[in-house]
Amino acid sequence: MAGVRHVWVRPEFVPIELPGLLLEWRNDEHGWRGLVSYAERDGRIVTQWLPAANLRPVKSSPRTGSAYG
């Protein structure tokens, strides 16, 4: 994947997805990880490496953990 991509981010131990920007990919001993920047609900900006399983391309609405979207 070339370039910055918009993704839904599921941070560790958080039951919702947040909008984020995927900045870079890397493959290490734990598998594929993406460097992402996203805003937490309190407005704090976080940039961290997360497993590929915690990232999803923006093509639909976020998964908020409820039946109402």
Per-position DSSP letters for 14-48, written without gaps between them: -SS-EEEEEEEEEEETTEEEEEEEEE-TTS-EEEE
Per-residue pLDDT at 50: 95
So where are the chain's domains?
1-7+24-60
**Percent of the chain topping pLDDT 70:** 80
Q: What is the mean pLDDT of the chain?
A: 86
Per-residue pLDDT at 1: 44
What are 32-61's pLDDT values in tens digits?
999 999 998 899 999 999 999 999 998 866
Per-residue pLDDT at 8: 93
Instruction: Give the residue with greater pLDDT, 65 vs 29.
Output: 29
What's this model's pTM, rounded to 2 decimal places? Answer: 0.76
